[in-house]
Structure 1
Amino acid sequence: MALRTRREPAEGLYLAESAKVIRRALEAGHRPRSYLMAPRWVDELTDLVQDAEARGVPVYVGEPDVLQALTGFHLHRGAIASMHRPAPRDPVDLVAGARRVAVLEDVVDHTNVGAVFRSAAALGVDAVLVTPRCADPLYRRSVRVSMGTVFQVPWSRIEWPEGVQTLQRNGFSVAALALRDDAVSLDDLAADPPERLALVLGTEGDGLADATVQAADLAVRIPMSGGVDSLNVAAASAVAFWSLRAR
């Protein structure tokens, strides 16, 4: 963790774990820097090894106990790759042709970030914007939980909370997913959704900042039963994305 924090932002790298995730990164046009794998996977991942040789990318091979000492975890998913981090994209350019956008405000759990991206990819979200304090979508655990869909869904960081006005100026209705008495039911919003919609989801526990809810065009709430007032942010995102998908 300390090494990643010191070197990843400056040197522009991220880690992709498992053959499936690495292949999705390559399909998205990301460039590998090096591979690390156990001996048994060299033969099973022949296509990745051959691709690395063609690119002049080193493939390091080590026994499982050595790899665990190097990485700090059991490398049981075939391989791990150090990848060049793609250049950040301008958020306004990113959403230029989008109809459905998700915004993650200060979501700090990497598992939740990865799960939201997987739902976004599956349920028709065109782009994801993350605030400056949101966890990194290209952190190893986020990438793994997303099953590589962080490479599939375009994303960028956006200044916040001024990003609410940025989205509104670019034609989006901004809906804040929040527990408020005046919130519109998700069912009602889904019955007549705006053409272009940005759905803002808040951090675990505290939810969205008051300033964000005040600046949004409306607050929306998922109808609940059973005495439950809210869902985990990843679960809530899946429900909202499916209900509000563009048709």
Structure 2
Amino acid sequence: MGIERIETADDARLADYRDLTDVALRRVLEPAGGLYIAESAKVIARAVAAGHRPRSVLVQEKWLPDVAALALAPDTPVYVVAADVTEQLTGYAVHRGALAAMHRPELPSVAEVLEDARLVVVLEDIIDHTNVGAIFRAAAGLGADAVLVSARCADPLYRRSVRVSMGTVFQVPWTRLPAWGEARSILHREGFHLAALALSDEAVPLDAFRAAGHERVALMLGAEGDGLSRAALAAADSVVTIPMAGGVDSLNVAAASAVALWELRGS
């Protein structure tokens, strides 16, 4: 890695980190693929281990040894700046030591992601990045083989999603899913039973669904409040619910994903 110490926030080398939204990083700087921001040495290390390539790293002096321990290519620039410069650039206090501008990898096809999968999670239009990150962490920790996200779902590589997931967005295979008409055909062709987690009078309790012993399951999750769309529910083969107590009708979507994945693991 090449260490470069920078004194001011207006230095042209810091453009990737300066007041840019994640949409801008994807669409303006790198039209062929785009960038995303990874935060903390641990997350950067997981991204690098997954084969993602950093364009540069931004770090404060006291955290430089953590960055030096990463397996970075020799030509990767490491910009060392003061804490106030980092805050000027990003608009917030960076407490985790390092940021990296990472090149976005090309997403695999849905068929590639599903090839060896048995249990996959499907996220429809979940726009909260914290929930997306938490669901990826649950998927990694509880044995889901892949995650499929709708076109309008929040970006799993958004900085907050990556952080909340503890970098597990780099270890769980994922890709974008087409509209339900095509998506249902793809999933059925691969032998998946589509299970929509939703409130419905006709819903099957989660434990009863597990007992049915479906060989390959696509667990469908919708946004907070609105839940799954009508198109998603129409595409589903089963509607499944988590039995609740205490007058509570449902869980946060990330919590619900963890409960459902725990129940369906190894089924």
Q: TM-score, normalised by structure 1?
A: 0.95
Structure 1 segment 71-82 matched on structure 2, within 5 A: 71-82=90-101
Structure 1 segment 169-208 matched on structure 2, within 5 A: 169-208=189-228
Q: Report percent identity of matched pairs.
A: 59
> Corresponding residue for 1:143?
162
> Corresponding residue for 1:117?
136
Pair 2,68 (structure 1): closer, same or farther in 2 beyond 3 Å: closer
Query: Quick one: which amino acid aligns to residue 5 of structure 1?
Result: V
Q: Does 1:29 align with 2:38?
A: no
Q: How many Å separate the matches in 1 of 2:126 and 2:66?
A: 37
Q: Comparing 155-164 with 6-15, which one deviates more in the overlay? A: 6-15
Q: How many Å separate the matches in 2 of 1:184 and 1:44?
A: 49
Q: How many Å separate the matches in 2 of 1:221 and 1:32?
A: 42
Structure 1 segment 1-247 matched on structure 2, within 5 A: 2-10=20-28, 11=30, 12-48=34-70, 51-52=71-72, 54-162=73-181, 163-247=183-267
Matched position secondary structure for 1:21: helix
2:221–2:228 CA contact under 8 A, matched in 1: yes
CA RMSD across the alignment: 1.3
Q: Comparing 161-170 with 2-11, which one deviates more in the overlay? A: 2-11
Q: How many residues are paired up?
A: 244
**1:165 deviation in Å?**
2.5
**Structure 1 gap segments, 5+ residues each:** none
Query: Quick one: which amino acid aligns to residue 245 of structure 1?
Result: R
Q: TM-score, normalised by structure 2?
A: 0.88
Matched position secondary structure for 2:220: strand
**1:9 deviation in Å?**
3.5
**1:2 deviation in Å?**
4.9
Query: Quick one: which amino acid aligns to residue 184 of structure 1?
Result: V
Q: How many Å separate the matches in 2 of 1:44 and 1:234?
A: 31
2:22–2:158 CA contact under 8 A, matched in 1: no
1:99–1:246 CA contact under 8 A, matched in 2: no
Q: How many Å separate the matches in 1 of 2:66 and 2:206?
A: 47
Q: How many Å separate the matches in 1 of 2:199 and 2:174?
A: 26
**Structure 2 gap segments, 5+ residues each:** 1-18
Q: How many Å separate the matches in 2 of 1:102 and 1:246?
A: 15
1:14–1:140 CA contact under 8 A, matched in 2: yes
> Corresponding residue for 2:5?
none
Query: Quick one: which amino acid aligns to residue 65 of structure 1?
Result: D
2:41–2:66 CA contact under 8 A, matched in 1: no
Q: Comparing 37-46 with 216-225, which one deviates more in the overlay? A: 37-46
**1:214 deviation in Å?**
1.8
Q: How many Å separate the matches in 1 of 2:194 and 2:46?
A: 31
Q: How many Å separate the matches in 2 of 1:133 and 1:234?
A: 18
Matched position secondary structure for 2:201: coil
After superposition, the C-alpha distances for 1:45-95 in whole angstroms (9 at most, x for unaligned) are 3213xx44x430110111101111111111110111111111011011210
**1:6 deviation in Å?**
2.2
1:175–1:219 CA contact under 8 A, matched in 2: yes
